[in-house]
Every structure is written in structure tokens, then in C-alpha cells.
Amino acid sequence: MQQYPGTQELRNSGTKITIIPAIDLIDAKCVRLSQGDYDRKTVYNENPLEVAKMFEDAGITRLHLVDLDGAKARHIVNYKVLETISSKTSLIIDFGGGLKSDDDLRIAFESGSTMVTGGSIAVKDRETFLHWIETYGPQKIILGADAKDKKIAVSGWQEVSELSILDFIESYTSRGIQKVISTDIARDGMLTGPSIGLYKEIMAQFPKLELIASGGIASMKDIYELDEMGIPGVITGKAIYENRISLDEIEEFYK
């Protein structure tokens, strides 16, 4: 199994932010939601493998694969898609959505995920999430810190808690977590730009954190801005699917 790259590798030898395309899955199809709303769904491709291969052909090495059916059902659903992409590409995949049990995690890793992301489970079942960190190590477990108005949201963003995002991250960095994907739900799928202020706050409090920004990316300008801030990684989906960011631009960025 491929190992998760550390901070230096994630930043391409410390010089570039890593651009991580997202594939969100409903009914095994590549979709995007707006602000996490399942009623505001756009299907972009019915063949996720085709999309993954397109990314790989462009020189991309990482993929963020989200099981939206799993997030709603609260158990892993689209593991066959994960298995197909992992076996037919060399992409390093982090997988999330609906991972609630040790069995879900076992299926995800056996299906080819290099890392898994836990969000709701980290809020609702802290004991299990800590067990995962201890069992698999912080290189394989990513904390999903998705927020609305700086409050953590769970269950496919269907529920907003009273837990502040900074307190939430601190509660897990103190227990070994090194990697966090943070999405500002209000910006996700809206193409309005990333939550720069939020990421500045997170990095100021946790300067060694391997933070992956997500949500709102509208153009390469946003990615350059995050890169200049020193953010290690960025997830983008809709901007690619709607040709706001071309794969040629991503290739040029790394040149």
C-alpha cells in the first residue's frame, strides 16, 4: 500500500501546494452538490473511473473520493468505485463519507484507499476515532473539520453542532492528528473563493498542521493565493468540472 506523503512531499518539496481533485459519488456517479444540499445535485459524469484517469493523465497524483451515499446512510456504500479506481490508476486516494465502524475502515483500506477521512465519527464517537488513530497511525487518518459559521457540521452536513472548528481541531491535534481537511460549507460548490480568513486562523493556531483547504475554489487565482499562504493542499471539484480551472493550467502550475 502506498504511504501518505508527509508535509514536504505534500507541498512538492516545499514549493507548491498540492492540488487534489475531488470525485463525489452518488449512485456510483460523479456529482457535485451546492453547500452540501442533496437536492442541489449536478451529475457531471456517470463513469468516475474515466474522470480519475483524466486526472492521472494530466499528471495529478492525489484524489479525494467522497461517498455521499455513505454519508447519508452512515456506512460505506460506494467501495466498489474505490476499488475500481485504485486498481486501475496509480492515484493516491483519500476516501471519506459514512465511515462509522471498524468494518467500514477495513473495507475502505482493503478496497485501495491510502487514507481515510473521518468527520462525523470524530464528533459523535470520539472513542472510535481515537482508536482508529492509534490502530492505523496519524499518517492514514485525516480529520474532516467541515464547518458552517465556524461551527462543525456532521452527517453529510445535514447537522450543525455547537462545537467551534478551532476547539475541534485542537482536541485531536493534542491526540496525534496531523492532517485536516477543512471545508467551509457556505462556500462549497458555490465558486465564490475559499475561506481565506478561516484558513489563516487555523494556520495561526496550528502552524505545523497539514491543512487541506476545500470549498469555494473558483480559479487558479484562488490556488495561487492559498499557495502563497503556505497551505499544504487544496481540494477542488466544481471549478474543474465547469472548466473554471483546466487540467492544462494545473500542469502549468507545477512547471
pTM score over 0.85: yes
User: What HEC string does 40-58 produce?
Assistant: EEEEEECCHHHHHHHHHHC
Q: Which residues contact 224 (CB under 8 A, 6 or more apart)?
A: 253
pLDDT tens by residue, 219-252: 999 999 999 999 999 999 999 999 999 999 998 9
Q: Which residues pair with 160 in a beta bridge?
A: 153
Q: Verify whether residue 24 is a known catalytic residue.
A: yes
| pLDDT given for residue 71 in this prediction | 87
What cell does 233 get? 493542499
Q: Which helix (H) or strand (E) holds 68?
A: helix 68-73
For residues 252 and 242, what is the distance between their CA atoms, to the nearest angstrom?
A: 19
Are residues 40 and 32 in contact, defined by beta-carbon separation less than 8 angstroms?
Answer: no
What cell does 249 get? 493550467
Q: Which CATH class is domain 10-247?
A: alpha beta
The structural domains of the chain, with segments of one domain joined by +, span 10-247
What cell does 144 get? 474532516
Mean pLDDT of 110-128: 95
Q: Verify whether residue 102 is a known catalytic residue.
A: no
| pLDDT given for residue 156 in this prediction | 52
Region of 87 (left: φ > 0; alpha: ψ -120 to 50; beta: rest) is alpha
pLDDT tens by residue, 18-55: 999 999 999 999 998 887 788 889 999 999 999 999 99
Q: Which residues contact 88 (CB under 8 A, 6 or more apart)?
A: 49, 52, 53
Instruction: Check pLDDT > 60 for residue 11.
Output: no
Are residues 194 and 202 in contact, defined by beta-carbon separation less than 8 angstroms?
Answer: no
Q: What rounded mean pLDDT belongs to the chain?
A: 90
pLDDT tens by residue, 156-212: 556 677 899 999 999 999 999 999 999 988 887 788 999 999 999 999 999 999 999
Q: Check 146, 184, 188, 222 and give the catalytic one.
A: 146
Instruction: Check pLDDT > 80 for residue 155.
Output: no
Instruction: Check pLDDT > 70 for residue 12.
Output: no
For residues 207 and 222, what is the distance between their CA atoms, to the nearest angstrom?
A: 20
